[in-house]
Amino acid sequence: MMEKWKMLNGPPERYEVLRRRIYSNTKEIWYYVSSSLGSLANEIEDLKQKISHMKTMVDEHYRSLLRDVAKLADVDGYSQWRWKEFDSLSRLVEKRLLHAQNPPDCSKAKKLLCNFVNKHSCGYGCRVHHFIKCLFVAYATERTMIIDNPKNWKFTSGGWEKLFLPLSDTCTSKDGDTVSLWPGDESIQVINYNVPTPEYAPKRLHPPYIPVVLPEDLAGRIKVLHGDPAVWWIGQFLKYIFRPQPSTTILFNEFAKRAHFQKPIVGLHIRRTDKLISEASLHKLEEYMYHVEEYYKLKELNGEYDTKRIYLATDEPTLFDEARQKYPEYDVIGDPEISKTGSVRKRELDDSIININIDIYFLAYHCDYLVCTFSSNVCRLAYAIMNSLQPDASAKFTSLDDTFYFSGQVHRLNVALITHKADNPDEMDLEVGDEIEVAGNHWDGYSKGTNLRTKKTLLYPTFKVTTKIEVLPFASYPNITLNTETWKEENL
Ligand SMILES: Nc1nc2c(ncn2[C@@H]2O[C@H](COP(=O)(O)OP(=O)(O)OP(=O)(O)O)[C@@H](O)[C@H]2O)c(=O)[nH]1
Ligand SMILES: [Mg+2]
């Protein structure tokens, strides 16, 4: 009886938020303690051994706690509801996108014409982010997104459609009776939207609908469903654009066979080469593998002993040999030949674009956990897609550098839940309700950001804040509804 009630009504929001908060703050206390113990050991030579012993015990406590909190979601009776809610929300978003993208009469449809004005270098992942920016604006204003100047987007010599389904089956013509540059107004039939909008451009030229803002009508549901609602939302749009052509599905399947792809598997994305010149710092293979090991230790705690496996996606082909040599107990899946096509010289060739899509697809669709650097557009893409495929994968990653962000986002805010008195000049004071523009999590218990009340950019303890969910009214598609019967009794 209770199970059926839970299936119909779902968990209270405060329960879901609390459950996830205990999980993420278990991580935060561990970041804090392990980083502090590390500094202590470096400062006091005599204590090194004792601290190392403490660290081993703290790690064991941590894994056990993390496992227990994660298990709550399996035993609380709401897991069927979570899948049902996920299914219904994601189908609703897809149905709205299909509706907006497939008007019955293209000659009368309101359109958003998206043109890529490539003034500076922008790689594949960067271009995909700009591309879905257009789709967010089109969705929010209930217009059909049309790709303007397909060559500018450099998706392949055959355009986007060579690999993925067209954005529309009914409407690709950019013609219309009235035309204006963004923002224009509602009466205009065709709005030209040029991306990227220069950072210095007036505010009205930056459409407000770009993540991490959520649509007001769905935000409440996404907040209950998912630990990082903006990621889930972005994922739905990526899932829509990345619907593979049948020939692309064949390519993916052939790759899976050739690479002997198997689960469970942890996805590693290791971005090297040009990225290390000015955009990101070098992280050794060992730093990634530490978190892979943690993943498998947690599984072993659950009595699950599998072959340890990684999927390696990287633009540095020598890492395959390095991984096999240093971690002989691991099954290393992936293809150095694919990696070679990610070299700076080759990466804009058709084959390289196909190959980066293979890597993104396997990281997103088939890996159980991701370890990477979120400074890379490629990994953030894979992570957001992964989150579009299940109710809540917001804890299934480790980033060695940045926290998640949307390329071109206005800001991402934290809001303080607990007061804080700065302990040293590097820290900020917090009052409950303070909003902080996040710069990054330092993964040592502290984050850095700008407190919008005091305007100071300083550190603050991460556990004292939570993510602020910002919403705006988007088009709400009142006539697009779901036939809820599609979720069949047999799924119960
Ligand atoms: N095959 C493969 N290629 C990769 C991988 N990581 C990066 N690349 C290559 O590097 C390109 C991404 O780098 P950029 O061209 O700078 O694109 P970006 O969108 O700025 O992405 P980031 O620099 O990673 O933030 C991809 O298009 C690939 O060609 C990988 O894991 N596998
Ligand atoms: Mg780049």
Q: What's the 196 CA to ligand 2 centre distance in angstroms?
A: 15
Predicted confidence at residue 489, as pLDDT, reads: 46
pLDDT in tens, 13-52: 999 999 999 999 999 999 999 999 999 999 999 999 999 9
**Does ligand 1 come within 6 angstroms of the Cβ of 156?**
no
Which of the listed ranges 119-128, 324-333, 475-484 does the model predict with the highest average pLDDT?
324-333
Coil/strand/helix, residue 145: strand
**Does ligand 1 come within 6 angstroms of the Cβ of 396?**
no
* Mean pLDDT over each residue of the chain, to the nearest integer: 95
With vertex at residue 408, the alpha carbon angle to CA 405 and CA 412, rounded to the nearest 5 degrees, is 45
Q: Using N-to-C axis directions, what is the helix angle for 377-387 and 124-140, rounded to 10°? A: 50
**Is pLDDT at 119 greater than 70 in this prediction?**
no
Radius of gyration of the chain (CA): 23
Query: If pLDDT is split at 50, 70 and 90, which confidence band does 483 have?
Result: confident
Token pair for 367: 């890996």
Report the C-alpha gap between 63 and 199 in whole angstroms: 43
Q: Residue 153's closest CA among 161, 143, 144?
A: 161
Predicted confidence at residue 490, as pLDDT, reads: 47
pLDDT in tens, 427-458: 999 999 999 999 999 999 999 999 999 999 99
Beta bridge partners of 430: 420
Q: What is the DSSP letter of 134?
A: H
Predicted confidence at residue 98, as pLDDT, reads: 98
**Does ligand 1 come within 6 angstroms of the Cβ of 211?**
no
Least confident of 82-86, 87-91, 120-124, 270-274: 120-124
Predicted confidence at residue 301, as pLDDT, reads: 95
Beta bridge partners of 147: 114
Q: What's the 377 CA to ligand 2 centre distance in angstroms?
A: 7
Report the C-alpha gap between 102 and 146 in whole angstroms: 11
Coil/strand/helix, residue 135: helix
Ligand nearest to the CA of 373: 1
Q: Which amino acid is at 393?
A: A
The model's pTM is 0.96
Classify residue 390 as exposed, middle or buried by CB count within 10 Å of its CB (0-12, 13-18, 19+): middle
Report the C-alpha gap between 193 and 197 in whole angstroms: 9
